[in-house]
Chain A
Amino acid sequence: MFRRVYLLTTILLILLSCKKSRNSTSWNSFFSIPISRDTFNLNKLISQDKLYLSNDGTHVVFKDTFELYRIDQSIVGDDIQIEFTDTIIVPSILAGVPFPQGFQLPNQFSENHIFSFKDIKLKEIQFDSLIFDYEIESNVNGKLDLNLTIDGAFNENAQNFNTSITTDVQKKITGKLNLNNYRFDFTDNGNSFNHLSTLFLIGVSTENNEEVIFGSDDIITIKFKISKSKISSAKGYLGSNEINDTAKIKIPFMKKIASNNFELNDPKFELIIKNGIGIDAQLKLNEIGFNKKNINQSLNHSSINQNININRALDLGNDFQYSVNNLYFNSDNSNIHQLIGIFPDEVNIDYSVISNPLGNQSGYNDFIFNKHPLSLNLGVNIPLIQNFDSIIYNDTLDLKIPENLEIKNANIKLEFNNEFPCNCCVNLRLSSGDLINSSPICINSAQTDLLGNLMQSTISQYEINIGNDVLDKLQNSNKLIIDLVLTSPDSVTNFPILGIQNLYYSINMDLNTDIKLN
């Protein structure tokens, strides 16, 4: 007996000792890891079709056009609200006669509506999307099939809108009509504006259990209202309207950049007002403000706060002609030079637009197409010959070190080969603000001649040793702050840049790490 107990206990203890413990397995390894390697040049950063070689071949010129703001169908859309009610009074002659299920009344019920859209006189309007909400109230003692035709509402196949709705017995029903992509002719065959007519045919619904007998005062009321719409195009006289607004253009990237001094050689800017709407307009740029933190500066130029007359676009069938107005800004006629140096992260354009300031000059031939808006564009022409003092770029990188890596020591190796005429110093900081590198890592400027042209690249190499304590903090915060300070080699020369100048870098790391498996 004792032997059995002894053996069973021994076996049990052996089995229990074989149970896997919860301790993690770990080991130490030394890794050499390539982190990042890349080559920068302007052709890589900026699309090549925006860079042009200067006439003398010494530098590149950056040319681009940005859309700042656009005005499209919203200039009339808010005023075009369609809402109407049709009332069908059942002829008293039909009263008291029993009509079987499926019987079609011989009468047609037609209604005309003239809408008031302020001073807008529409001949035609087309919608990308249009949903009508309807509400039908009937006091007829039976269900009726209403066949609705909207005269002048045409689909892509030039067919009138037609649908069938079944009413309920002495009850209100609601529903939606989908008229997406329908074109509305509001002229009543060339005799009117803002006109719409509806036609109803009435049948006795087969859903009734018995014949329907109309009363002498039976009435059906149908209410229509737009619940959702997006205008594709409109024609007619589109009214005179004034819009006062402020367009805010945010440039988040600029938040990370600041500079003591930044000089570009003869930059040119152009405000392009491109009108694709068939309406004359008057634009007034009340103010163009450039903001950066607490700095707010306004553009000074002769066009500011002045009325700018904008001609209408022309639609000649196969040929569509925009009306274009250009306003030029340079160092001579504005303070643009000064505004660039603040690296604004927000530009505010306070403006007002009056459409058809002289009234119906086109004889009801205004037009608006969604695809041809009125836009405010900024054209830039910047020769890349520059001199700057301490352009500071500041960014915070998310740096997630895997939890099962316990890095004891890291040695980061940096190598740069610089062909650009600027010195660049880098500081790496923890989120607490503590510096990781004891002294700045500086990439030396390329060697240039007296005119600032590239002669030879320079190579800079650095090693940063990061100890366990800093790595712990980095692992806890998961953030790495980078300060980049760019400065021209001297403060006198404007240094030219070519598209083929490169900055090559490589970042490698030697790690002494414990790897942990849970």
Chain B
Amino acid sequence: MKYLFLILFFGIQFNCIGGQADSIQKRVESIELYSSTNFSIGSTHVPLSFFKKNYFGGFINDNDKGNNNYINKIQRSGLELDINIGIKIHNSKNNINGWYFSIQNMITNGLSYRQGLFDLIFRGNNNIRNDILLSKTSFHFRNHQIFHFGKFYERFSLGLSLGNILQEVNGNFGNNDLIGVSDPYNWDIVVNPNFELVENTSNLLNKNGNSLGLDIKYNDISKSNKFKYCLEIRNLGLILLHKNIKKMNYDTSFIYSGLALDELSDISNFSNDLTNNFEPEIINKNQWLVTPFTIKADVLYQLEKIGVLGGVFFRNNSQYLPMSYMGINYKNHTKIEYGTKLYYGGYNHLQWGINASYKSKRIKSELNLQNCFSLIPSLATSFGLLLKLSWKIT
């Protein structure tokens, strides 16, 4: 089903690119089909090969684990898959105002952690001689399906977003939490984690949570026609989790230096006790969260064939760092524009990307490769691809 959806989705884009669907064109003259797919995966310290082996399987060797860093350095890793497909119905009178409807499937996963925690899991505690702090360690995983609709004008658009929460997992550790393994045989554990998760249901529509948000977009152009800017807020609102919310919250600290003999001789009972103590609690009570809304701002200064551009992107309730970028575009005499950008933020540090776009009366398409080094997975620590397509039927 998932693959069928994706094939159909790309198939529609293919039709858009081809621009040869004459029969459809005749039937719906003032409609614009558009899609936007953004996939990015990245980390501040591990190469892409680490993710590749996690997903496809294989042995994660020392190179895949990235460089050795300061043990309490904060690292981030995550992925974003944001698929949008929509339709704009233009007002037949002026062809500027109109209505839009779109469906979005957003899957994001982010982790923020200390280097030491990664090392503890993937390298072992053998060489760790400091306490691993767990403050600022948090993670999320979410899968939301959102229906957007609203009205657009020449410079402004306003709409609502209604979401089904398929999965929402959030977790974080307390500010004073730590794993003390400086003495490898005397572990000092102080943890006060707070985990919360909502799982998907088998019912197509009736989910364990729903969201309601506001979409606002404003764009303008200077009188000289050289300076353009755009500000967009998507899905600003609230999530209501209403049933089957699993919560884990405990405050514990202990020193582990080995089991006592009676615990060792009755290890199955001991491990059962341990498991029972950390069972999640299931809550069927309403809980409100702020949506993972996004704020995006882009500016462009156009000089003849060269455009200088910049922007920022922020996602709420995520380990995704606000990302900023700047770059230049070159437009030749054809309908094609090329460009290059420097990105900073997200799940990565500095990235060098390239982009190309094609613009005609009916068709707009844009392809962004966020990190050129991702073509060599063992070197690059991120990969990002943005594909935008739209086909306007006039």
Measured between alpha carbons, how far is A397 from B56 in the docked complex, in Å? 39
Q: Which residues of B contact A511 (CB under 8 A)?
A: 124
Chain A interface: which of B83-91, B227-235, B258-266, B316-324?
Answer: B258-266
Q: How far is the CA of A30 from the CA of B125 in the complex (A)?
A: 7
* Contact between A35 and B259, CB atoms less than 8 A apart: yes
A25 near B185 with CB under 8 A, answer no
Asked whether A12 and B7 contact (CB < 8 A) given A32-B185, A36-B259, the answer is: yes
| Chain B residues within 8 Å of A188, by CB | none
A30 touches B126 (CB 8 A): yes
- Please name the residue on chain A nearest to B3 by beta carbon: A15
Judge whether B7 and A36 touch: CB under 8 Å: no
A8 to B122 CA separation, bound complex (whole angstroms): 40
How many angstroms between the C-alpha atoms of A183 and B59 in the bound complex?
78
Contact call B7/A37, Cβ cutoff below 8 A: no
**Contact partners of B64 in chain A: CB under 8 A:** 27
Given A23-B56, A23-B58, A26-B60, A34-B185 contact (CB < 8 Å): yes
Interchain CB contact (< 8 A) of B14 among A7, A24, A34, A510 = A7
B-side contacts of A513, CB under 8 Å? 124
| Contacting residues, chain B, for A8 (C-beta < 8 A) | 7, 11, 14
Given A37-B258, A506-B258, A508-B258: A32 and B125 interface contact (C-beta under 8 Å): yes
A38–B260 touching, CB < 8 Å = yes
A31 in contact (CB, < 8 A): yes
Q: In this complex, which of B64, B65, B124, B267 has the most chain A Cβ atoms within 10 angstroms of its Cβ?
A: B124
Question: A247 interface residue, CB < 8 Å from B?
Answer: no
B286 CB–A CB distance under 8 Å = no
Render B40-63 as a binary contact track against A, CB cut-off 8 A, 1 for contact. Answer: 000000000000011111111100
A105 at the A/B interface (Cβ < 8 Å)?
no
Answer whether residue A22 sits at the interface, using C-beta atoms and an 8 A cutoff.
yes
B5 shortest CB reach to chain A, Å:
11
Encoded as 1 (CB less than 8 Å from any A CB) or 0, chain B from 1 to 41 comes to 00100110011001000100000000000000000000000
Q: How far is the CA of A358 from the CA of B343 in the complex (A)?
A: 108
Identity of the chain A residue whose Cβ is nearest the Cβ of B119 in the assembled complex: A29
A378 at interface, CB cutoff 8 A: no
- Asked whether A11 and B57 contact (CB < 8 A) given A27-B122, A30-B126, A35-B259, the answer is no
Question: Which residues on the A side are within 8 Å of B6 (C-beta)?
Answer: 15
Given contacts A15-B6, A32-B184, contact A26 B59 (CB under 8 A): yes
If the complex has contacts A11-B10, A36-B264, A508-B185, are A30 and B259 also in contact, measured as CB distance less than 8 A? Answer: no
- Residues from chain A with a CB closer than 8 A to the CB of B250 are none
Docked Cα-Cα span, A40 to B262, in Å, equals: 11
For the complex, what is the distance from the CA of A25 to the CA of B59, rounded to whole Å? 6
Q: Which of A7, A25, A40, A506 contacts B58 (CB 8 A)?
A: A25
| B187 neighbours in A (Cβ, 8 Å) | 34
Residues of A within 8 Å of B267, CB to CB, are 398
Contact, CB under 8 Å: A37 / B124? no
Q: How far is the CA of A40 from the CA of B184 in the complex (A)?
A: 24
Q: A23: which B residues are within 8 A, CB to CB?
A: 56-58
Contacts A31-B126, A32-B125, A32-B184 hold; do A4 and B18 have CB atoms under 8 A apart? yes
Contact A506:B14 (CB < 8 A) given known A15-B3, A34-B187: no
Which residues A224-278 have CB closer than 8 A to chain B?
A: none
Asked if B335 lies at the interface with its beta carbon under 8 angstroms from chain A, I say no
Q: Which residue of B lies closest to A31 (CB)?
A: B124
Expressed in whole angstroms, the Cα–Cα distance for A23 and B54 within the complex equals 10
- A21 contacts the other chain (CB 8 A): yes
- Say if the beta carbon of B284 comes within 8 Å of chain A: no
What mask results when residues 37 to 64 of chain A are scored 1 for a CB within 8 Å of chain B, else 0?
Answer: 1101000000000000000000000000
Query: Judging by beta carbons under 8 Å apart, are A4 and B7 in contact?
Result: no
| Cβ-Cβ contact count across A and B, 8 Å cutoff | 93
Inter-chain CA distance A53–B64, complex, in Å, is: 64
For B58, list chain A residues within 8 Å (CB). 23, 25-26
Task: Report if A22-B14 is in contact (Cβ < 8 Å); known contacts: A15-B3, A38-B260.
Answer: no
Asked if A382 CB lies within 8 Å of chain B CBs, one says: no
In contact, B258 and A34 (Cβ under 8 angstroms): yes
Chain A: minimal CB distance from B121 (Å): 8
> What residues on A are CB-neighbors of B3 within 8 Å?
15
B127 interface residue per 8 A CB criterion: yes
A residues 443-473 in Cβ contact with B at 8 Å: none
User: Is A29 a contact partner of B123 (Cβ separation < 8 A)?
Assistant: yes
B360 interfacial contact with A, CB 8 Å: no
For the complex formed, measure the closest distance between the CB of A26 and the CB atoms of chain B, giving whole angstroms: 5
Q: State whether A36 touches B125 (Cβ < 8 A).
A: no
A contacts with B, residue count (CB < 8 A)? 35
Does B186 have its Cβ within 8 Å of any Cβ on chain A?
Answer: yes
For residue A507, CB closer than 8 A to chain B, the reply is: yes
Chain A residue numbers with a CB within 8 Å of B53 are 25
Identify the interface centre among B64, B126, B258, B267: most chain A CB within 10 Å of its CB.
B258
Q: A20 near B: Cβ within 8 Å? A: yes
B257 at the interface (CB under 8 A from A): yes
**Chain B 251-279 interface mask (CB, 8 Å, partner A; 1/0):** 00000111111001101000000000000
How far does the alpha carbon of A32 sit from the alpha carbon of B184 in the complex, in Å?
6
How far apart are the CA atoms of A73 and B121 in the complex, in Å? 64
Partner of A397, one of B7, B57, B265: B265
* Given the contacts A4-B14, A37-B257, A30 and B123 also touching, CB distance less than 8 Å: yes
CA distance A292 to B7 in the complex (A): 76
Check A27–B259 contact: CB distance below 8 A: no
Docked CA distance A27–B62 (Å): 9
Chain B, Cβ-Cβ closest to A12: B7
Output the nearest chain A residue to B18 by Cβ-Cβ distance: A4
Chain A min CB distance to B66 (Å)? 12
A406 to chain B, nearest CB (A): 11
A residues within 8 A CB of B261?
A: 36, 38, 40
Give min CB distance, B50 to chain A, whole Å.
Answer: 9
Please name all residues of chain B whose beta carbon is closer than 8 Å to the beta carbon of A22 when the two chains form the complex: 57
Residues of B within 8 A of A508 (CB): 184-185, 258
Set of chain A residues within 8 Å of B14, measured between Cβ atoms: 4, 7-8, 11
Please name the residue on chain A nearest to B265 by beta carbon.
Answer: A397
Contact of A24 among B11, B57, B184 (CB under 8 A): B57
What is the minimal beta-carbon distance from B131 to any residue of chain A, in angstroms? 15
Q: In the assembly, what is the distance between CA of A398 and CA of B10, in Å?
A: 56
Closest CB-CB distance, A29 to chain B, in whole Å? 4
Min CB distance B184 to A, Å, is 3
CB distance from B60 to the nearest CB of A (A): 4
CB-CB under 8 A for A25 and B258, given A7-B14, A30-B126, A510-B126: no
From B7, B57, B267, name the one whose CB has the most chain A CB atoms within 10 angstroms.
B57
Contacts of A37 in B (CB 8 A): 257-260
Q: Which residues of A contact B259 (CB under 8 A)?
A: 35-37
Q: Residues 117-135 of chain B: 1 if any A CB is under 8 Å from the residue's CB, otherwise 0?
A: 0000111111100000000
Report the minimal beta-carbon distance from B52 to chain A, rounded to whole angstroms.
10
Q: Are B186 and A34 in contact (CB under 8 A)?
A: yes
Chain B: minimal CB distance from A513 (Å)? 8
Q: How far is the CB of A378 from chain B (nearest CB, A)?
A: 26
B259's nearest neighbour on chain A, judged by CB, is A36
A183 to chain B, nearest CB (A): 44
Nearest first, the 7 A-B pairs at minimum CB distance are A23-B57, A32-B184, A37-B258, A29-B124, A30-B126, A30-B124, A27-B60
Binding site for A on B (CB under 8 A): 3, 6-7, 10-11, 14, 18, 53-61, 64-65, 121-127, 181, 184-187, 256-261, 264-265, 267
Q: List 30 A-B contacts (CB under 8 A).
A: A4-B14, A8-B11, A11-B7, A11-B10, A12-B7, A21-B56, A23-B56, A24-B57, A25-B60, A26-B59, A27-B60, A29-B121, A29-B122, A30-B126, A30-B127, A32-B125, A32-B184, A33-B185, A34-B258, A36-B259, A37-B257, A37-B258, A37-B259, A37-B260, A38-B260, A397-B265, A506-B257, A508-B184, A508-B258, A513-B124
Q: Given known contacts A22-B57, A36-B258, A40-B261, what 19 new A-B pairs fall within 8 Å (CB)?
A: A4-B14, A20-B56, A21-B56, A21-B57, A25-B53, A27-B65, A28-B59, A29-B123, A30-B124, A30-B125, A32-B124, A32-B181, A32-B185, A35-B259, A36-B260, A38-B258, A506-B257, A506-B258, A508-B184
